[in-house]
Structure 1
Amino acid sequence: MRLALIVVLALLLAACDQNMDVQPKYSEYSRAPLFRGSVLRLPPANTVARDDLEWERAVTTKPALSAELLGRGQQRFAIFCLPCHGAGGDGDGIIVHRGMPRPTSYHVDRLVTADDQHFFDAITNGYGAMYSYAARILPQDRWAIVAYIRALQLSRRASIEDVPPDERAKLRVQP
């Protein structure tokens, strides 16, 4: 019994000095003699990170125009774009009244003729004084905002001939 107790105590004491609190490791940017350089290693050739393909598809594939997409775009526009660009996209948001630079109106010819990718890239990377929203707005929501911007532009330049004939008759009725 006494021998068993001594063996157990010896094992416990031997385990106490294993340096478990401070284990050898490399920090991210330190030099590692084993790798002959930095600890950070390049991934093997032809590897794809998890979810990269779905992310790339969401960034490059513009969704089909629908009422749901425009509704989502309007909601996201109101959250992220309206403070600077204003409700109509004229560049008269609240920040202008607080002394910030006035953003360009979406209704100038340069932006009306710009392709959708221009707006998507501006949201993603920022443009001029506008900072990047890549970390704040998901790619599918960026496409929804682009669709809503296009709806704002179309609403400003639309004529009665752009309305379908059956809907046109409803507009001409006097209340």
Structure 2
Amino acid sequence: MKKAAKLAVVAAAPILMAALWMDEQPSYKPYRAPVLSPPAGSVPVSGREVIPQGGELKNPLLPTAASLAEGKTFFEINCALCHGMTSAERGPVGRKLTPPPPGLDSEMVRGLSDATIFRAITFGFGRMPQFREKLTPRERWSLVNFLRTRK
């Protein structure tokens, strides 16, 4: 009986070892859709917005009082925590970051195009998160309009 038990353990050992290594193998994910770029000029059918990485976007919103007020609200909610209400002092989260995030009323930001600022808000960069899923395109353009009025 002992000989049969030893033989069973020896026979099962390679199978048990293989089970331990299975999690570390590269594997094909059959249910993950491939990431494809949409053809030029196509209309998205998924309902998601498509923003080209290249080319120049034009701000569709005029800087009206309503747009600026909406942009200020979104700035206070989403941006001021890191960038601060003024360039002189960062927000409570921004003070903890090294290096601190830039002030959004600085000369650097004033020199950027509306499209560059819109893409930065949309896709994020560095430590800044993307706001593509959090703010609609109209809200992001209102935020761009508001940033243009800051001194």
Please report the TM-score for the alignment, with normalisation by the length of structure 2.
Answer: 0.61
Is the CA contact 2:84–2:90 (under 8 Å) kept in the aligned structure 1?
A: yes
Equivalent residues in 2 for 1:46-57, closer than 5 Å: 48-49=44-45, 51=47, 55=49
Secondary structure at 2:93's aligned position in 1?
A: helix
Residues 61 and 105 from structure 1, CA distance in 2 versus in 1: closer, same or farther, beyond 3 angstroms? closer
**In structure 2, how many angstroms separate the alpha carbons of the residues matched to 1:47 and 1:121?**
20
Q: CA deviation at 1:113?
A: 1.3
- State the Cα deviation string for residues 58-93 of structure 1 (Å, max 9, x = none): x85521110000000010111100100111255611
**In structure 1, how many angstroms separate the alpha carbons of the residues matched to 2:43 and 2:125?**
32
Residues 49 and 82 from structure 1, CA distance in 2 versus in 1: closer, same or farther, beyond 3 angstroms? same
Higher fraction of helix: 1
Residue in 2 aligned with 1:69? 67
Task: Write the letter of the residue equivalent to 1:145.
Answer: L
Is it true that 1:102 corresponds to 2:103 in the alignment?
A: no
Is the CA contact 1:89–1:107 (under 8 Å) kept in the aligned structure 2?
A: yes
* Structure showing greater relative contact order (alpha-carbon pairs closer than 8 Å, 6 or more residues apart): 2
Q: CA deviation at 1:51?
A: 4.6
- State the Cα deviation string for residues 74-133 of structure 1 (Å, max 9, x = none): 101111001001112556111133345311122332221111111101011112211111
Is the CA contact 1:120–1:142 (under 8 Å) kept in the aligned structure 2?
A: yes
Is it true that 1:81 corresponds to 2:79 in the alignment?
A: yes
Task: Write the letter of the residue equivalent to 2:45.
Answer: A
* Structure whose alpha-carbon radius of gyration is higher: 1
Query: Which sections of structure 2, spanning at least 5 residues, go unmatched?
Result: 1-28, 52-56
Equivalences, count: 113
- CA RMSD in angstroms, aligned pairs only: 3.1
Residues 56 and 63 from structure 1, CA distance in 2 versus in 1: closer, same or farther, beyond 3 angstroms? farther
Task: Write the letter of the residue equivalent to 1:127.
Answer: F
Query: Which sections of structure 1, spanning at least 5 residues, go unmatched?
Result: 1-27, 31-37, 157-175
Task: Write the letter of the residue equivalent to 2:136.
Answer: L
Residue in 2 aligned with 1:140? 138
Secondary structure at 1:144's aligned position in 2?
A: helix
Residue in 2 aligned with 1:19? none
